[in-house]
Amino acid sequence: MITTSLPTEQIEVRFADLDLLDERNLLERLLNDQEGAIRAVRASLPQLTAAAKAASERLRHGGRIVYAGAGTSGRLGMIDAAELTPTFSWPPERTVNLVAGGRDSFFAAVENAEDDVTTAEHHYLQANITEHDVILAVAASGTTPYVCRVLQLARQSGALTIGIANNPGTPVLGLSEHAVLLDTGPEVLSGSTRLKAGTAQKIALNLLSTTVMVQLGKVYQNLMVDLVATNEKLVNRANRLVQEAAQIEPQQAVTHLRQANWNVKTAIVTATQGVDAHCARALLDAHHGRLRSVLHQNTPNFPARPLPTGVIVSCQARADNPLHGPQFMRAMALAAAQAGAVGLRANGASDIRAIRDASNLPIIGIQKVFGSPYDVYITPDFGSARLAAQAGADIIAIDATHRPRPVPLPDLIRFIHEELGKFVMADISTSDEGMRAAEYGVDYVATTLSGYTSTSPTLPGPDVQLVQALASHLDIPIVAEGRIQTPHDIRAAREAGANAVVVGTAITNPREITRRLVHAWSE
């Protein structure tokens, strides 16, 4: 008997009577063997889970999904790619197919193309792959030269690599950061990996791409709310989706869909939140397209950006300060509002609640947590964020520095947006931290922690250079905070590009103000 080290290429002697079977028994034999595809995918769920999580994270930052394959595997990747746009409104420019033999190989087999590594290099360079992209490389054998070369180049580019193969210990798996083995074994029809191996690949691709799209906010409940209604069937489906999500009648759904230019998400927001299509789109943009966040926010009608430009007053006092306590913070907030402050910043549920009861100004809420093994203490976890939100904060400020933290930063931001329905302000100390926070989807970046980390400079006044760097690179509001004490400081921050400034000690800490004045007298 001829043997091979690749299980998918082995000849299974128990199927040697295949050509003697009648139609019914032949179909049953083929069907029974397909069950091995399900078992193989189920066994790979831990690896698929890790791959889906990594891919979701990478794609949140604007990357592309790049499918790489040859033969049946290449065609399956092309099918999965083609279905993303109509199903999830995934931008077609964010999908790339690298297929041995090119697009023509979808209709006619170009079997020798899978060995052509020169063409693989050419295709790869044409695609301009970057570190933001996700490579989904699929090869039943796990040895296809075209696919292996793409993976090698992708690793050099810093792209995320996910390799799917049906044979263990093969190069496709070894070259991938996330190796997904679909161990389907020999085929009923020896070597024909379009059968069980192909089925397992199709299932894995379905699971992976659907999971990623759900994580990116393309689904609400189990409704396909990002579909593109391009024909009568899909128009009717869009109508049913709006009816179900908004709990309205068919004709009402049609009215909202027309106002929303047949965008299902926008129509659902207009139907449930009492806003027009323009405001609905702004709300969706503010929540990064996540319908659940919009529908379940605590204050559904707040504007897309609740924080005006101007001066924000930080109403905080340490425990050893005679002014410590909710009643004093409430009074400070009222005084600040009377003087023209556009917002307030407060720490702790009791202070936030007292201020909320007294003022309608936007509140930036934080919950400081001390005594943990981490240096991060400004709203560091889910529990502290929930306390600030429940107390009435409109914006939750969090420590977004590069320091070790109890909860991954993207997870905390997502929790605040989706579960709490609040905006997120990232307190940072360097421009790199601000850029990263913006990539993760925060709504504001504040220079609060400049001078309080080992990677940031200690300055006598506000970090105007940091404000300027952030303003020149980001398209979200920048808030200057930290050591702002004079009108000159405020003007400098504004001219550097700050949309707002937070002033604390210079206004709300009489003890420190008095200490500075006394020191000036003594000099």
Full 3-state SS string of 429-461: CCHHHHHHHHHCCCCEEECCCCCCCCCCCCCCC
Residue 304 pLDDT: 43
Taking the mean position of all CA atoms in its chain, how far away is CA 146? 31
Each residue of 14-69: pLDDT tens digit? 888 888 889 999 999 999 989 999 999 999 999 999 999 999 989 987 899 999 99
Residue with tokens 């808030």: 479
List the chain domain ranges.
Answer: 2-215, 232-295, 310-522
Amino acid at site 254: V
Ranges in the chain, pLDDT < 70: 1-4, 108-111, 286, 297-306
- β strands within 82-140, DSSP E: 95-99, 134-139
d(CA 218, CA 289): 8
Tokens at residue 461, please? Answer: 């006044």
Residue 297 pLDDT: 59
Residue 24 pLDDT: 94
DSSP per-residue letters across 301-336: T--SS---SEEEEEE---TTSTT-SHHHHHHHHHHH
d(CA 131, CA 155): 9
Is residue 114 part of the annotated active site? The answer reads: yes
Which of 9, 57, 114, 433 is catalytic? The answer is 114
What are the two backbone dihedrals, phi and then psi, of residue 345, each rounded to the nearest 5 degrees? -125, 135
d(CA 46, CA 210): 16
For the entire predicted model, the pTM comes to 0.58
Superfamily (CATH H level) for 2-215: Glucose-6-phosphate isomerase like protein; domain 1 (3.40.50.10490)
CATH architecture of 232-295: Orthogonal Bundle (1.10)
Residue 334 pLDDT: 93
Taking the mean position of all CA atoms in its chain, how far away is CA 166? 30
With contact defined as beta carbons under 8 Å apart, do 180 and 52 qualify? no
Which residues touch 273 (CB under 8 Å, ≥6 apart)? 280, 283, 294, 295, 300, 301
Each residue of 321-353: pLDDT tens digit? 888 889 999 999 999 999 999 999 999 999 999
Helix (H, G, I), strand (E, B) or coil at 96: strand
d(CA 266, CA 133): 28
Helix (H, G, I), strand (E, B) or coil at 82: helix
Residue 2 pLDDT: 45
Helix (H, G, I), strand (E, B) or coil at 492: helix
Q: Do domains 2-215 and 310-522 have the same CATH topology?
A: no
Superfamily (CATH H level) for 310-522: Aldolase class I (3.20.20.70)
With contact defined as beta carbons under 8 Å apart, do 64 and 85 qualify? no
Residue 299 pLDDT: 41
With contact defined as beta carbons under 8 Å apart, do 66 and 80 qualify? no
- Helix (H) / strand (E) containing 501: strand 500-503
End-to-end CA distance of the chain: 99
Is residue 83 part of the annotated active site? The answer reads: yes
Which of 9, 23, 57, 83 is catalytic? The answer is 83
